[in-house]
Amino acid sequence: MLGLLCLFAMAWVTPLVIVVLSSMKTPIEQSQSGTLALPENAAMILDNISSASELSGIGNGILSSLIYAFVGSVTAVIVASSAAYSIAMLKIRFPFFWFLLIYSGTVFPFQMYLMPLFQMYQSVGLYDTRMGMLLFYSAIAVPFCLFVFRNYFIGMQQEVFEAAALDGASSFQTYLRVLLPMAKAPALFLFVTQFSWIWNDFLFGQVLAKSDDVRPVMTSLALLSGTYGTGTVPQQMAGALT
């Protein structure tokens, strides 16, 4: 068992070691030495990080991705939880229809509405803006979050909400003070999963943003490869390390 754990640890650590060692080398040294060879001058990592930042604007990309991931995830969780509460708990007309209408957003592949979304963003002035990116990342996460919250709320004990109603709590007070504290587990799960997805997204960042101030980090990293794949490996590794 210990040997298996060591094997998994090596499989996880080895790529990180390669990235660190490669970021400490010059392009010539990287091409002439082995992948795991020690660098001649470890201080080269600072020059490579500086060059990577100048070429790709990765500092702005990190800031933009943090904003998109945090705000988009929080907004999606709040909107989806309130919608799921209305559909699952409140007596609205045709609740299952509204659930299917919102959840149908996950049926179609992203590539199907990529170009219509691009054209719409250009026509309304949201293209290459942080507000446009925030709106997109928040909206695209709502259907899946709604699906998780609705199924979780349906399985909860109805007596809890009946007791809150008897105590004089309004629907909003029940949602805010009773439902949300009980739904911490799915809310945290959805926040982490959506944060990770937004942080790692490349496709929509490439299509909907072009300036350094708006471009997310994964799109910024792609710039280090160069237009024709002429980027240097040390700079790419230094960019990935940051």
Quote the pLDDT of residue 231. Answer: 62
Q: What is the pLDDT of residue 228?
A: 55
Residue 44 neighbours by CB distance under 10 Å: 17
pLDDT digits (tens, 9 = 90+) for 24-36: 777 767 766 766 6
What pLDDT was estimated at residue 199?
92
> Any idea how long the chain is?
242
CB atoms within 10 A of CB 66: 15
Radius of gyration of the chain (CA): 23
The two tokens of residue 97 are 């229809």
CA distance 212 to 216: 8
39-97: pLDDT as tens digits? 766 667 777 667 666 666 778 888 999 999 999 999 999 999 998 888 877 777 777 77
pLDDT in the model for residue 42: 66
For residue 21, the model assigns a pLDDT of 74
Nearest to 221 by CA among 202, 207, 204: 202
- How buried is 118 (Cβ within 10 angstroms: 0-12 exposed, 13-18 middle, 19+ buried)? middle
Q: What is the CATH number of domain 67-216?
A: 1.10.3720.10
Packing angle of the helix pair 184-200, 58-88 (nearest 10 deg)? 140
Residues of the chain with pLDDT under 50: none
> Boundaries of CATH 1.10.3720.10 in the chain?
67-216
CA gap 226, 80 in Å, rounded: 40
pLDDT of residue 188: 94
Give the Å distances, CA to CA, from 85 to 89, 162, 170, 176: 5, 14, 13, 11
Locate tokens 């794949």: which residue? 229
